[in-house]
Structure 1
């Protein structure tokens, strides 16, 4: 779903001030060198900001101020008088301190970790952090108002006069100026949500009940809304690491913060009648996932009253030029600090250059009406909520007027009418369609989507050049039923293939779905260990273009399946499938699936098999959007998954050949290892009870393509290992540039280092070997020792490319064994 942001870029990037006081400028020393991370505040206030790496700053307020104070460790503080309400490009020179008293410790550059009063205060925050927030209570509830906004930023005459916006010039009548960056922007999307949040710290359960939702612009695009909300997922500033954009940033309040931040005690003052200390912090090194900013902390509870966090431009993160966070806290019973406001702004852009255009993503979250220690039954938290209550999405104006905790400003109010008008403009429709194609891969027609376009072409040994065309019914994102189909033609085998399927949502609340379909195609069996009879599935045979060695062990499959699945509780799915399939070699001269019929001893080359399978899938932490028969996962790859499958082969039904039982278990778990990156792990275990031929055995998934495909073995050829009992483990760790950021020559490239290791052990019974002996394929199982490989890789090359180098650990005597290989992949990653 990261491609939705790319789609928004294609639409918009290709292409009245309300504040009373505005100031921008540069802070330099007497040698004209910029001073990064200097503190700039309006005089006699706590409203301030920090200069960026180039010494530049912007600050504004709704109130009128006559002066700003500029300070930095080791320099004399300057007070700058403001002659006007708007003061742009002020040049400020700071002189170094020369007459400091001996007992005053002056810090410059990297601050000391000893005898630093700011760090003494930081240690007190660590000691008391568990005494603040909702975690202090057994149960809690509160009201939550969330406002999500997209803005096209850096509006200038070149953009306004661009031919791209011919016929849409009226949209530029409502540009505004960001209070954070000082850039002009145009609101293009707005979503509001009101909800009630419940939590139980004893049961470790939470539940959020949506009571109102309203949006403008992309109004039917729940996927885009949910994806952006996931990017700005909830976080706790007291945690050691804060996760944004699938990256773990070190919190300035972290116990490990001393090693990555400089801290300076800058000021002290009353904030809402509470005496607080102001601490400025900034990174010790470039290219790490850190922030700059400041926070105000109370002198008795050692709770944070206000905090601002801004990602530095050198941070190793793609497509995000700026990221800014503000949080405010209030006091309950004079002791406990609770969050009342969370403001999050990011600037999505292709380039981090100062004048590059981008799209602001803003989220404002307000919290109110806290209540505590009112227990609710565990069933309350586990019960499913109807994912779509029509009343929630059709609240009247009076509801929003009463429920909003913060009134919309003039420009936000206009977004609702602006976008309604814009959707009637042909030029906008054209741009929107281009963005949709890039984001989804489908061309939207009236009630039908043509695609996916990215699967139109392929190549393999049997079919040669392969052309594929297909589509799906699509009226809304929440259709109760959907039909999908495709046709494909191989220019070498001169055969037509197809697949068609349909599914219907019988009950929205329990997610009871019935589906059926038929597929006749060429497949690479053994592309994964935990195969299911999914009629919509595709394999490497139809998508790979370049392969290592001959990829001729392909199978023609004719599969018919009928399935029923239900989701009795969130992210727990139970399904049953009945299927019948015919398997035969795609080219018998190149590959054989021959076997002896165990009853007649007759030689057969085609397998006919009827099977019943039941599966249970549990995906804790998975986030989805939509309430129709299809839902879209918005945090793909960032949640655990457990899969259990039991299959039974039914002999004699529809001329089915074999009777067997198969048990399979799959467990995938991503691990965020704080500042050390992210570890992906997966475990697969399986066993087949009964005698079956090669076409029904468990093939260890090799990879003869040049694509990096997780959960395969890049140095194994297809069918190199065949098993009826197996255990497989894959580990891959992405350091996210932590090592390269410390190497001077590599630091500026923002590369990311990866390491991986994978292994498999398996057995194959003598009975199953003998059954498939006529296939003339040497059947080997990794039973003597665990087969293993390891790899090292470099990611984020030109921000989109990754390359992996693979090394084989053993079994070098296998036929055509590869000891070394290289694979690569393209992707849109933050």
Structure 2
């Protein structure tokens, strides 16, 4: 009975909130679903297309009496709509008597030559760079953006479940998605209003954020960073559209002809402009493609309306739906400007029709365009402060005028709902669990302390045996201007306590001048990267791996103290200047010795290194996006390059430091989005040490004896197998994102992804440095005869979370205990 009442109330709400709603399935005469059939209300341009399973749902604020269904090879159907709400329609398409002629025109290679839709597409390519704001010298406009998260697919079973017992009040006001037809409950809303200024002659654009309003989980940076990922910029005229670190082929791209089928479906007046309607759908399954349609003007060949829906077979995880709508307005009779951009993402563990998930919805509205306003170049270079406190404190009058699209009742109710939810203990428990999983820290609000991180609690290595670690940090808000952190650890084999603590203080927010310092006494695997660690809290996975290959016993006791100044004089350019004092000794001297020749020692040999260094580092990350303005910031995107230049000077005698030397290091990491061919990541590292130093201060080619796939290491090298004072390394790793496997029938449904890697290293070590470390008990070898190289073949997205790499060693197979082949793997939640 309750289920029936819920259904009745749901239908009533649906009728009130929209005038016409339809859903159903389109099948052929044999009962097979007809995918990508065109569905429109008669005498309108409002419509959709069926999904891979032949199903559809859409709605309109207007009332319509007839539905038209069409598809190439079938007779067009007209369905009478007797009610405003018509659900679960079953439509059977009948094959057209002219099917053969239509197939000849629109399918196969011949369709690319004789298809009128593709002729129109070619004219779009020719005109795309002169449409929109590009037609003017300068421009400005208002931009209003709202991002919302909703819990979706809510039914009576969910409402009555134990999970929401005591929280039934949140389901009192439910709405229905006009895209999917699912009920949803808003849980998060963020609004931003800004003014955009641009000049095409200077090729400059700036955004002045005037208001930012947040409700929901705004205090948690890990969750907020995920929300920010929905702000990805895209242009439908680009060849590839990037969402969730995946590149989807645009239906307007020049490569689209090989990726999509195009059909000229209709033509009509829209806003007094004659437009053609073109339907498109993918030629193959399991590729990163869309389906949908667009309306294009017959003279300017500018897009008037377009919708894009990611196909269900697309090789993307945790996202069941991505739906995009863009509407353009006509200005001065020939200029088409973006008016509204809507994007919906349905996040879910499964792509099954009834699976529950979370909607992420972004709506961007553009208005008040102005052109050819004369402004100096300095105006565009002067950036506003998006973190000005006044931006976050705008009153209701400001937002009433700033909203270019008003909030509906559900969106307006989010503020009140969240205030109420925060008083419910059960909801706070749910929130805390999600927060711990996202950030790794347990929040203790009354003490303004976070406990963690929980993922570093347990470890194991040959020196410590089983290791337990616990830590904490101060945390008042996500934008704290100072933060203290620390941890304690204990090894059950060596029966010793270890610790690390640090403090950092933001002295100037504009230049991001930060003072930091700390101390660490611990055991570490130093042979896993080329740059000496100055992190007093971090710990490599190689020091805590539960399982390893070979004799993983070349560990080092480290006592490290650092002080550092950092500033960001230019956006994404960080300058570091600091000093460090470290004491290094072997954690297992019988297996791994750091002994070196020391004439001042009574024995002529020393086993401990004491070294004071001054470090200067430049780090440039063009394109990097962050959130927050406190001492800690969170990265939002990953698709940016990193250039690092490091200069280290060792000062002998200062604080009883042992060695005088200089080291120069450079690294460059670049991710390359190669459109439909996937993503390539490349890293090159170069370095040279000037002066004589012992093993503990030399540059070790990064080996990897763990079973984890670690980028920028060599999985077939043991730790300290190659030691250098001059080196060059190259790492290439390409993820095809399933492009090859999608063409193999029996692998297609598994959505596996192919990963290939190629790595190389060259280095040398001077005779003086070899002689200095002569007392050590490991061989000092460098890959100077020929470049050491490896390659790997990997399979990713196994059960959506696992990856396995098969690694092959190319040469130096005569080295002691050389590993010619190895298997590594990793796991994680990737789109």
Residue matched to 1:680:
681
Residue matched to 2:345:
346
- Structure 2 residues without counterparts, runs of 5 or longer: 1-12
Residue matched to 1:411:
410
Label 1:763 to 1:233 Cα distance change in 2 as closer, same or farther (>3 A). Answer: same
Aligned partners of 2:468 and 2:109: how far apart in 1? 60
Residue matched to 1:800:
801
Residue matched to 2:327:
328
Whether 1:621 aligns to 2:623 is yes
Secondary structure of the residue aligned to 2:412 is: helix
The alpha-carbon deviation at position 269 of structure 1 amounts to 0.4
- CA contact 1:573–1:618 (8 Å) conserved in 2: yes
Alpha-carbon displacement from aligned partner over 1:723-747 (angstroms, at most 9, x marks no partner): 1111111000000000000000100
- CA contact 2:105–2:111 (8 Å) conserved in 1: no
Label 1:197 to 1:223 Cα distance change in 2 as closer, same or farther (>3 A). Answer: farther
Residue matched to 2:300:
301
Residue matched to 2:514:
513
The alpha-carbon deviation at position 380 of structure 1 amounts to 4.8
Aligned partners of 1:630 and 1:101: how far apart in 2? 64
Aligned partners of 1:103 and 1:625: how far apart in 2? 53
Residue matched to 1:118:
117
- CA contact 1:503–1:516 (8 Å) conserved in 2: yes
Superposed, 1:45-60 pairs within 5 Å as: 45-60=44-59
The alpha-carbon deviation at position 203 of structure 1 amounts to 4.1
Moved more, 540-549 or 715-724: 540-549
Aligned partners of 2:201 and 2:678: how far apart in 1? 31
Aligned partners of 1:624 and 1:826: how far apart in 2? 25
Aligned partners of 1:136 and 1:733: how far apart in 2? 38
Label 1:78 to 1:808 Cα distance change in 2 as closer, same or farther (>3 A). Answer: same
Secondary structure of the residue aligned to 1:257 is: helix
Residue matched to 1:612:
614
Label 1:95 to 1:722 Cα distance change in 2 as closer, same or farther (>3 A). Answer: same
Superposed, 1:693-772 pairs within 5 Å as: 693-772=694-773
- CA contact 1:40–1:70 (8 Å) conserved in 2: yes
- CA contact 2:807–2:822 (8 Å) conserved in 1: yes
Residue matched to 2:7:
none
- CA contact 2:104–2:110 (8 Å) conserved in 1: no
- CA contact 1:232–1:344 (8 Å) conserved in 2: no
The alpha-carbon deviation at position 272 of structure 1 amounts to 0.8
Whether 1:819 aligns to 2:820 is yes
Aligned partners of 2:166 and 2:71: how far apart in 1? 49
Secondary structure of the residue aligned to 1:256 is: helix
Whether 1:276 aligns to 2:278 is no
Superposed, 1:416-495 pairs within 5 Å as: 416-446=415-445, 447-495=448-496
Aligned partners of 1:612 and 1:137: how far apart in 2? 52
Aligned partners of 1:102 and 1:57: how far apart in 2? 28
Residue matched to 2:4:
none
Secondary structure of the residue aligned to 2:33 is: coil
Whether 1:573 aligns to 2:574 is yes
Aligned partners of 2:102 and 2:684: how far apart in 1? 60
Alpha-carbon displacement from aligned partner over 1:529-578 (angstroms, at most 9, x marks no partner): 12342222312343211110111111101011111111112111101111
- CA contact 1:801–1:826 (8 Å) conserved in 2: yes
Moved more, 210-219 or 645-654: 210-219
Aligned partners of 1:809 and 1:135: how far apart in 2? 52
Residue matched to 1:20:
19
- CA contact 2:105–2:115 (8 Å) conserved in 1: no
Alpha-carbon displacement from aligned partner over 1:288-322 (angstroms, at most 9, x marks no partner): 00000000000000111000000110000000011
Label 1:650 to 1:381 Cα distance change in 2 as closer, same or farther (>3 A). Answer: farther
Residue matched to 2:28:
29
Aligned partners of 1:407 and 1:756: how far apart in 2? 50
Moved more, 227-236 or 310-319: 227-236
Residue matched to 2:780:
779
The alpha-carbon deviation at position 375 of structure 1 amounts to 5.9
Whether 1:662 aligns to 2:663 is yes
Label 1:510 to 1:519 Cα distance change in 2 as closer, same or farther (>3 A). Answer: same
Label 1:307 to 1:768 Cα distance change in 2 as closer, same or farther (>3 A). Answer: same
The alpha-carbon deviation at position 156 of structure 1 amounts to 0.4
The alpha-carbon deviation at position 79 of structure 1 amounts to 1.0
The normalised TM-score by structure 2 is 0.96
- CA contact 2:755–2:793 (8 Å) conserved in 1: yes
Label 1:727 to 1:56 Cα distance change in 2 as closer, same or farther (>3 A). Answer: same
Residue matched to 1:66:
65
The alpha-carbon deviation at position 30 of structure 1 amounts to 1.8
Aligned partners of 1:60 and 1:48: how far apart in 2? 8
- CA contact 1:384–1:570 (8 Å) conserved in 2: no
Alpha-carbon displacement from aligned partner over 1:797-828 (angstroms, at most 9, x marks no partner): 00000000000011111111110000000011
The alpha-carbon deviation at position 226 of structure 1 amounts to 3.9
- CA contact 1:511–1:566 (8 Å) conserved in 2: yes
The alpha-carbon deviation at position 596 of structure 1 amounts to 1.3
- Structure 1 residues without counterparts, runs of 5 or longer: 1-15
Aligned partners of 1:380 and 1:701: how far apart in 2? 48
Count of residues paired in the alignment: 814
Alpha-carbon displacement from aligned partner over 1:771-800 (angstroms, at most 9, x marks no partner): 111113210111111100000000000000
The alpha-carbon deviation at position 229 of structure 1 amounts to 2.9
Aligned partners of 1:742 and 1:433: how far apart in 2? 43
Whether 1:76 aligns to 2:78 is no
The alpha-carbon deviation at position 434 of structure 1 amounts to 0.6
The alpha-carbon deviation at position 480 of structure 1 amounts to 1.0
- CA contact 1:641–1:668 (8 Å) conserved in 2: yes
Alpha-carbon displacement from aligned partner over 1:245-268 (angstroms, at most 9, x marks no partner): 100000001101111101000000
Secondary structure of the residue aligned to 2:526 is: coil
Secondary structure of the residue aligned to 2:576 is: strand
Residue matched to 2:527:
526
Residue matched to 2:6:
none
The alpha-carbon deviation at position 599 of structure 1 amounts to 6.3
Secondary structure of the residue aligned to 2:426 is: helix
Residue matched to 1:88:
87
Aligned partners of 2:98 and 2:779: how far apart in 1? 85
Residue matched to 1:9:
none
Residue matched to 2:218:
219
Label 1:155 to 1:101 Cα distance change in 2 as closer, same or farther (>3 A). Answer: closer
Alpha-carbon displacement from aligned partner over 1:445-470 (angstroms, at most 9, x marks no partner): 13111111111111111111111111
Secondary structure of the residue aligned to 1:774 is: coil
Moved more, 329-338 or 344-353: 329-338
Secondary structure of the residue aligned to 2:389 is: coil
Secondary structure of the residue aligned to 1:515 is: strand
Aligned partners of 2:420 and 2:364: how far apart in 1? 28
Superposed, 1:74-473 pairs within 5 Å as: 74-98=73-97, 107=106, 112-374=111-373, 379-383=378-382, 385-446=384-445, 447-473=448-474
- CA contact 2:591–2:777 (8 Å) conserved in 1: no
Label 1:101 to 1:645 Cα distance change in 2 as closer, same or farther (>3 A). Answer: closer
- CA contact 1:559–1:582 (8 Å) conserved in 2: yes
Aligned partners of 1:733 and 1:155: how far apart in 2? 40
Residue matched to 2:3:
none
- CA contact 2:803–2:825 (8 Å) conserved in 1: yes
Aligned partners of 1:430 and 1:310: how far apart in 2? 35
Match of 1:635 among 629, 634, 637: 637
Secondary structure of the residue aligned to 2:198 is: strand
Secondary structure of the residue aligned to 1:253 is: coil
Residue matched to 1:603:
605
The alpha-carbon deviation at position 368 of structure 1 amounts to 1.5
- CA contact 2:458–2:468 (8 Å) conserved in 1: yes
Aligned partners of 1:293 and 1:229: how far apart in 2? 26
- CA contact 1:111–1:263 (8 Å) conserved in 2: no
The alpha-carbon deviation at position 377 of structure 1 amounts to 5.2
- CA contact 1:292–1:311 (8 Å) conserved in 2: yes
Q: Which has the higher contact order (CA 8 A, sep 6+)?
A: 1
- CA contact 1:762–1:782 (8 Å) conserved in 2: yes
